[in-house]
Amino acid sequence: MALYPFAEWRPLAAGDPGSRLAAHDVVCLHTMAGFLTGTEAMFRDKGWAGTESHFGIGGPADLDKDGVIYQWVDTDFQADANLQGNARLISIETSDGGNETTPWSQAQLDAIIALVLWCCREYSIPAELIPDSAQGRRGIGYHRQGIDPWRVTNGEKWSNATGKVCPGQVRITQLIDNIIPRVQQELSGRPTPTPAVLQLWSISPDSGMAGAQVELSGSGFTMATGVAFGPVWADSWSTTGDQHITAIVPEPITSGSVWVTVNSQDATSAAVAFSYDQSPSFPSLSLTSVSPDTTAAGSQVVLSGSGFTSATGVAFGDVPANSWWIDDDTQVTATVPAPLTSGSVWVTVSKVDAATEAVLFTYET
């Protein structure tokens, strides 16, 4: 049995998962488009007969599970998250709280680096980015490389969900600029390089109102091209040396906490949390039920919850609903889209920077 020693072993069912891996060629990074517990519940619903990844890593949206690693599948066996690549890929899901633009937190980065390093050592996988999903590639990759329209001609198809953003660009940048270089350093025994690397260590104060001035500490700031508070770019900021940035907190598009990053032309720093001090003007987004919870594609269903006035999308598993509308803050009506597979899927409502916990829905056959 091949288990990562620093993961929590959580097999999805009894017995062996099925086929053994034919080769260990690629460590493939995914994003969950949700939460660690919700993803595990979806995988566990069908056990070894459904879709699953080898590993899952929690994020800040999972509260005390930020950086926690679950192992669902023994890496001697196939997981079913990469379609035509299942026989040769090790898959790692990472929580994003339902927002594909969220960068990996520092705890997630540390967990990913340690896990990828173990995979490279255990299976002699090259610590380099694969250029595409073509069969025979060996190294470190990300799921979107095998998804149309990004998949190259003759590349393996790693998902049937055309246009699925997995992971988002900010995480791809972190993979290239942060994770792979760190893994390479560890494998070679080289010390961390001394030239400036774009890093964000802290923000002070770490809470305040829009319009407040904050100080960011880190390194490599002379190459900075922007400061982002969640999805909102700061209009006013300036560098005061390679390790300090002064920024004016921009108006938020949601209440609560956001992730702050410093960006350059080809890199994004790890994220640091910042909390807006203001009375919440946006209700929390939640989904409590789907009615009916079993029906056929093309039927209308009513979603109940709260915070729906800020909703930007409804998804049935990996398939977004093309027809849906907001009845009021507590109700959305949606037309059930055609499924990618039969059986049950998880329904979520999302907005710009958040997504609800999932509610189970079953396609009627």
User: What confidence tens digit (pLDDT) does each residue in 60-117 have?
Assistant: 999 889 999 999 999 999 999 999 999 999 999 999 988 888 899 988 999 999 999 9
Confidence of residue 146 (pLDDT cuts 50, 70, 90): very high
The mean per-residue pLDDT over the stretch 234-261 comes to 86
pLDDT tens column, 181-205:
989 988 887 544 434 467 888 899 9
**pLDDT the model gives residue 281:** 47
Q: 50-62 burial string, b = 16+ CB within 10 Å, else e?
A: bbbbbbbbbbbbb
Residues 269, 198 contacting (CB under 8 angstroms): yes
**pLDDT the model gives residue 75:** 96
Provide CB contacts within 8 A for 63, sequence distance 6+.
none
Confidence of residue 280 (pLDDT cuts 50, 70, 90): very low
If DSSP states are collapsed to H, E and C, what string results for 262-318?
EEECCCECCEEEEEECCCCCCCCCEEEEEECCEECCCCEEEEEEECHHHCCEEEECC
Joined together, the tokens standing for residue 111 give 């967990």
Confidence of residue 178 (pLDDT cuts 50, 70, 90): confident
Structural element, H or E, at residue 127: none
Confidence of residue 353 (pLDDT cuts 50, 70, 90): low
**pLDDT the model gives residue 227:** 93
- Indicate the range of 59-63, 66-70, 247-251, 269-273 predicted with least confidence: 269-273
Structural domains in the chain plus CATH codes: 8-188 (3.40.80.10), 199-276 (2.60.40.10), 286-363 (2.60.40.10)
pLDDT tens column, 219-236:
888 888 999 988 788 989
**pLDDT higher for 354 or 32?**
32
Provide CB contacts within 8 A for 14, sequence distance 6+.
none
